[in-house]
Structure 1
Amino acid sequence: PTEFAQDKFAEVAEANFTVAMIAGGSPEVNKQALDFCEASGIKGLVIDPRIQFTGRRGRISTQTLDGVIEDYSKHPALWGYYLMDEPSAARFNSLGIANRYLLEKDPKHTPFINLFPTYATKQQLGAFSYEQYVDEFCRVVNPKLLSYDHYALMADGSVRGDYFLNLEIIRRQSIKHSVPFNYILLSVPHGPYKDVGEADIRWQAFTALAYGARGLMYFTYTTPNDPAWGYHDAIIDANGKPTAKYEYAKKVNGEIRKLGPTLMRLNTVAVYHTAPVPEGCRLLPPEGLISSITGGEFVVGQFVSDDGARYAMIVNRSLAKTARAKIAFSQAVDVSEVSPISGKCKRALVRDEGGVSVWNADFAAGQGRLVRIDAVNDFPVYGWEDPIRFRPRVMLNPSNQFGNRIHGPNGEELYNEGMNMFVIAQKVQKILQADGRVDAFISRNTQTERTTLGRETQLCRALNCDILYALHSDATGTSDPGGGSWTFYAGEEGKKLADAVQSELIAAMRSTFYPEVKNMGTRTHWYRLWVLWEGGCPGALTEFLFHTNPKEREMLKDPACQDIMAQAAARGILKYLGLEN
């Protein structure tokens, strides 16, 4: 709400919302609004200008973050801290720093960042593809909640063709990174977008729930004042009065809150569609437990509960037509529907039609029905779970420092870092590829190719790599030859990667060709190394040994020693990826 009064927050709660976004402009007004939230039995998502990533603003100081935490964290109605809407990938590092700090100091509350939809341009995303954008966000920021908006319903009656593709990508990345997702739906007509009715709100909400959404937000509750977009008649109109959408939202939200205790125990395992199948989606398999649905067009979200039971959210994909569905099963089943009125399960009538179990049910436009499905007999069930397979991608980044050379007394080249580390990178790549469980790339094509840090990290992002591992040898820059091995990192995940590689490398060297090697450990670098921060993924850089040390330089060049070091680095990478066995 834009009016900060107790009755306005009570009005929010009456519409069955559980969180209100608060933008009071100052800590004092925001805290008063949190008091109104508490009195109304809801939570508040605070927008505070001190932590807004707007314009050219880069990082937010820890002192500022500490001040915000001090102002709000102890309030019982706080839900979270709003950081940014629709950032480009260029913002991810700064957002990640703020996100991690807030979670470290105040783990009970959610730093909120909302992402672009699929129809954003590459320039807006700052990424090569939408999937890469979301994946990189999860890797770099490590959010507590993955949120996005997608306004699919157009004023001309059409629906964006990539609506379900967007859900597919968000669900996939939510599963990959083990982070719940939130969907922001359209509730205010503006620009090219539709003046939505109850079926439109229901359709948006229940299709997202079928994909496993854990949160829903509305854009917007109150009507913005922006003539360029022509906003009008949101849930609350420009005069502060409820519109018909208020009752629509109240009804739909109320039903979802009744389903909520069951939904929150469910884990998404598959999503299918009946024909015609939207872009990027999968057809309901005829050999599955739900073998067919006729009488309309449907999306079927399949779930397994925490106690192992099977549930399905079946949604009428039509925005205009009631569907009389005939839902057939591949074996005898009992079906119980979770009531959106009481939240309790009620047995549905399943008929035997020619030896096939069939449930006949009516679905209003956009309606979703949540059912529990129990097989009567102990027969195998096919197609209930549709696991998403993620094949990790590794970027090996051998040093590009061809100027780091050691010459002999007659000017002959004894060592070249850029040339030598490429050889070791090739060995690591060969080992990883032979393992067969990861894709391993090298950031340049040949041993002699010159490239730049910008090109190398851009390639890493373009290939959507899960980790970047840089291979270097060290030098002292003084008469001291130096000696030992260490690995640098950026971020918490980078540290895990660095620790995994460094421990394997030291153990391998000590047990074979270099028992007395000095373990210099893992640490952040005193410079902000571009290659570790800008690859769009966790990064680590190993200085294997010192090429200014004559003994260690010969080890760096020795093929047998190279093999041992490459095997150790590959083991460390696989260990980090959870593929050590």
Structure 2
Amino acid sequence: MDRILLFIIATVILSATDVLAQRFFIGCWYRPGQSSFQNIAEAVENGFNLIISSGNIEENKKTLTWCSKNGVQAVLVDDRIVSSSGRRRDYARILHEVVSDYGFQPALWGYYVKDEPSTRDFRWLSSVNKLLTEKDRERILLINLPGNNRRIKQLGKASYEEYIDEFCRVVRPRIISFKSYAPTLDSEKTDLIENLEIIRRQSIKHSIPFCCVFVLSPQGSSRNHWKDDLRQQIYTCLAYGARGLIYRCSEAPDGTEPEHSEATSSAEEAISATYEHENTRQINAEVMKLAQTLARLKCVAVYNTGDIPLGTKALPEKGLISKISDGEFVIGQFDSNTGQKYALLVNRNARSVTRASVHFSQKVRLWEVSPLTGRLRPIVVYDEGAGSRWNAIFEAGQGRLLLIDTPQNLPILHWQDIPKFRPRVMLNPSCQFANVIRGPGGEELYNEGLNMYDIALKVRDELLSDGRVDVFISRSARDQEVSLRYETELTRSLNCDVLVSLHSDATGDGTPGGGTWTFYADENEGKRLAECVQIPLLEAIRTFYPEVQFRGIRTHWYRLWVLWEAGCPASLTEVLFHTNPREREMLKDPKLQDIMAKAIARGILNYFGLS
């Protein structure tokens, strides 16, 4: 495999209904046209069970056939998908063609879509994700996000966490895939752990598993990964609960697939000298044996010892694992679905062996999951006062997965450290101050912009009284005029999780019209938000207006800016018609406003599962 781009992908899809659930994948990526039956067979021999292949249609079909014969699956890089971001009007047709060409193949695992998208790409990627799910729901879309670096502002956000959060909110991927580079030439430090803290939080917030892409070839001031670098970073990702590990041997400076050249060949030769097949086989074997256990565990806390990396938490002294003498470690703590407790301890020193004493605050019995067999083997521990001590040796970069039993059944502190999130809600009252109903003498009977602000204030007060969400209004005064762009940019800058726009409707043809309805952009979370807002509102209106016309919950015939550009799921509710005299009076009645505002607030809380 001296001419292939090596990737290691290990991905577990957590949904119980997913065809990929509870399976761990390790794969390699071939350059265009370089996959062959022999190369795939060699990859399988070295522990890979997923092939990532780039080629034209016929080459990709051959790859799927060869994968099927070797008992593995494939992710396809099809230029029609990768380049369709520049032809977005055609992507529905393009995806239909791609699925028609490959979708019937059982060896197909998924499609590679884009590298390092900007926030401007998120809505397009959301549409691609939705369309592909409708056409071929068993396949995965792989989108590589950047690591935390200086390019984040160029990609459209002020911080890395905001970038990842908006990506998850808008695109709703089935897996988060982010990149990390080798240590620099003058330092052994990387930003991997800092990134993992952010990725883990967003993975938990959005219930999406994640994987890491390691770019192994030098980029800028970075050097090649070495074997123990690789092992240490693999285990660190696993300790943070990663469900996937991707290792990329070469990459062009802009993140695109590099062309063949003498420079590229030299880089590959240098990497091949470092990563011989035996090393790859050994790492793959370790990962697969541990995956048999990790696939059924949930990461509930991560701590560090020694020199504490930026943004991480130190190991609590009163926790079950109370101290690790000597060395620097990452400690990932896990629960199984049967209540068992596991911990993955990783030696952060990728250069030398570390002898450490692991101290426990109460008596424990320990077993280690063997990286050779995947089976449990008992570990000798010593009594130490009220607790226990394990004297351990960790090879450079090594991780060791432990099953911990507490026979005294005493309370355990600090075992779980799952981040909590307060939902952030943007209320967006209509700014259509020109939508005015006047009386016979020219007096103003109704103003949509002013009236909907009054209702939005009441919704805000209801949510503030509940106290479980942070709530904002897209303008600070009843008569403040703001642009649609200002409203959506404010929503994105405040990192809001939803935008709820409130309007009153009009017919435009002189007829009164009437009724209530809610619109959303063409994506599932927006639809769910619209349903959560509209249904309680409809029920509330019927308490004082039983004959109200329910016009539905649907997409709008125009591409409404606030629905598509808010950077989060959004809904727009036409509460009632202000061109209908009876409904107009309802919109103005403070008591009826209270009833409608309570219903809208209740719907927002329902969306977040806070009913």
Task: Return the TM-score normalized by structure 1.
Answer: 0.95
The answer to whether the aligner puts 1:422 opposite 2:453 as a matched pair is yes
Work out the CA distance in 2 between the residues paired with 1:140 and 1:59.
19
The answer to whether the aligner puts 1:311 opposite 2:335 as a matched pair is no
SS across alignment from 1:204: helix
Asked whether the 8 Å contact 2:361–2:386 carries over to 1, the reply is no
Asked whether the 8 Å contact 2:35–2:53 carries over to 1, the reply is no
Partner of 1:180: 209
SS across alignment from 1:75: coil
Partner of 2:23: none
Partner of 1:30: 60
Q: 1:147 to 1:579 in 2, by over 3 A?
A: same
Which amino acid in the other structure matches residue 404 of structure 1?
N
Partner of 1:43: 73
Indicate the larger mover: 392-401 or 345-354. Answer: 345-354
Which amino acid in the other structure matches residue 596 of structure 2?
M
Which amino acid in the other structure matches residue 72 of structure 1?
Y
Asked whether the 8 Å contact 1:222–1:237 carries over to 2, the reply is no
The answer to whether the aligner puts 1:135 opposite 2:200 as a matched pair is no
Partner of 2:143: 113
User: Could you tell me which of 279, 282, 285 is aligned with 2:310?
Assistant: 279
Partner of 2:416: 385
Partner of 1:503: 535
Work out the CA distance in 1 between the residues paired with 2:123 and 2:89.
9
Describe how 1:519-530 pairs up with structure 2 within 5 A: 519-530=550-561
Asked whether the 8 Å contact 1:333–1:357 carries over to 2, the reply is yes
* Structure 1 residue 555: Cα displacement: 1.2
* Structure 1 residue 158: Cα displacement: 3.4
Q: 1:279 to 1:227 in 2, by over 3 A?
A: farther
Instruction: State the Cα deviation string for residues 230-257 of structure 1 (Å, max 9, x = none).
Output: 55666x538x977544432221111101
Which amino acid in the other structure matches residue 567 of structure 1?
K
Partner of 1:331: 362
Asked whether the 8 Å contact 1:185–1:205 carries over to 2, the reply is no
Asked whether the 8 Å contact 2:502–2:574 carries over to 1, the reply is yes
Partner of 1:126: 156
Work out the CA distance in 2 between the residues paired with 1:488 and 1:229.
55
Asked whether the 8 Å contact 2:50–2:74 carries over to 1, the reply is yes
Instruction: State the Cα deviation string for residues 465-505 of structure 1 (Å, max 9, x = none).
Output: 11100010011111101111111112211111111221111
The answer to whether the aligner puts 1:340 opposite 2:358 as a matched pair is no
Partner of 2:519: 488
Work out the CA distance in 2 between the residues paired with 1:188 and 1:144.
28
Partner of 2:113: 83
Partner of 1:205: 234
Work out the CA distance in 1 between the residues paired with 2:451 and 2:84.
45
* Structure 1 residue 18: Cα displacement: 2.4
Work out the CA distance in 1 between the residues paired with 2:80 and 2:302.
41
The answer to whether the aligner puts 1:164 opposite 2:164 as a matched pair is no
**Percent identity, aligned pairs only?**
50
Work out the CA distance in 1 between the residues paired with 2:231 and 2:46.
14
The answer to whether the aligner puts 1:578 opposite 2:609 as a matched pair is yes
Work out the CA distance in 2 between the residues paired with 1:220 and 1:54.
25
Asked whether the 8 Å contact 1:198–1:249 carries over to 2, the reply is no
Q: 1:561 to 1:354 in 2, by over 3 A?
A: closer
Describe how 1:197-346 pairs up with structure 2 within 5 A: 197-220=226-249, 231=264, 237=269, 244-346=275-377
User: Could you tell me which of 563, 574, 592 is aligned with 1:532?
Assistant: 563
Asked whether the 8 Å contact 1:191–1:230 carries over to 2, the reply is no
Q: 1:384 to 1:406 in 2, by over 3 A?
A: same
Indicate the larger mover: 1-10 or 286-295. Answer: 1-10
SS across alignment from 2:158: coil
Work out the CA distance in 2 between the residues paired with 1:354 and 1:572.
54
SS across alignment from 1:561: helix
Q: 1:120 to 1:246 in 2, by over 3 A?
A: farther
* Structure 1 residue 321: Cα displacement: 2.4
Describe how 1:362-373 pairs up with structure 2 within 5 A: 362-373=393-404
Asked whether the 8 Å contact 2:123–2:171 carries over to 1, the reply is yes
* Structure 1 residue 357: Cα displacement: 0.3
Describe how 1:353-368 pairs up with structure 2 within 5 A: 353-368=384-399
CA RMSD of aligned residues (A): 2.0
Asked whether the 8 Å contact 2:367–2:379 carries over to 1, the reply is yes
* Structure 1 residue 152: Cα displacement: 4.4
Asked whether the 8 Å contact 1:34–1:43 carries over to 2, the reply is yes
Q: 1:354 to 1:573 in 2, by over 3 A?
A: closer
Asked whether the 8 Å contact 1:188–1:232 carries over to 2, the reply is no
- Structure 1 gap segments, 5+ residues each: none
Asked whether the 8 Å contact 1:156–1:194 carries over to 2, the reply is no
Asked whether the 8 Å contact 2:364–2:387 carries over to 1, the reply is no
Instruction: State the Cα deviation string for residues 401-450 of structure 1 (Å, max 9, x = none).
Output: 11111111222111111111111101100100110000110001111111
* Structure 1 residue 12: Cα displacement: 2.2
Asked whether the 8 Å contact 1:99–1:141 carries over to 2, the reply is yes
Asked whether the 8 Å contact 1:182–1:215 carries over to 2, the reply is yes
User: Could you tell me which of 176, 188, 198 is aligned with 1:146?
Assistant: 176
Partner of 1:394: 425
Which amino acid in the other structure matches residue 371 of structure 1?
L
Partner of 2:503: 472
Work out the CA distance in 1 between the residues paired with 2:231 and 2:557.
53
Partner of 1:546: 577
User: Could you tell me which of 406, 410, 417 is aligned with 1:375?
Assistant: 406
SS across alignment from 1:80: strand
Work out the CA distance in 2 between the residues paired with 1:132 and 1:59.
28
* Structure 1 residue 54: Cα displacement: 6.0
* Structure 1 residue 536: Cα displacement: 0.9
Asked whether the 8 Å contact 2:226–2:274 carries over to 1, the reply is no
- Structure 2 gap segments, 5+ residues each: 1-29
Work out the CA distance in 2 between the residues paired with 1:501 and 1:53.
38
* Structure 1 residue 189: Cα displacement: 2.9
* Structure 1 residue 353: Cα displacement: 3.0
Instruction: State the Cα deviation string for residues 277-318 of structure 1 (Å, max 9, x = none).
Output: 111111111111101111100000000012211011100111
Q: 1:42 to 1:155 in 2, by over 3 A?
A: farther
Q: 1:221 to 1:108 in 2, by over 3 A?
A: farther
Asked whether the 8 Å contact 1:188–1:231 carries over to 2, the reply is no
Partner of 2:13: none
* Structure 1 residue 377: Cα displacement: 1.0
Describe how 1:433-448 pairs up with structure 2 within 5 A: 433-448=464-479
SS across alignment from 1:21: strand
Q: 1:319 to 1:387 in 2, by over 3 A?
A: same
Work out the CA distance in 2 between the residues paired with 1:4 and 1:260.
27
SS across alignment from 1:61: helix
* Structure 1 residue 135: Cα displacement: 1.3
Indicate the larger mover: 107-116 or 57-66. Answer: 57-66
* Structure 1 residue 356: Cα displacement: 3.0
How many residues are treated as equivalent by the alignment? Answer: 575
* Structure 1 residue 100: Cα displacement: 1.5
Asked whether the 8 Å contact 1:189–1:232 carries over to 2, the reply is no
Which amino acid in the other structure matches residue 189 of structure 1?
P
Which amino acid in the other structure matches residue 570 of structure 1?
A
* Structure 1 residue 53: Cα displacement: 4.3
Which amino acid in the other structure matches residue 209 of structure 2?
P
Indicate the larger mover: 536-545 or 121-130. Answer: 121-130
Q: 1:395 to 1:222 in 2, by over 3 A?
A: closer
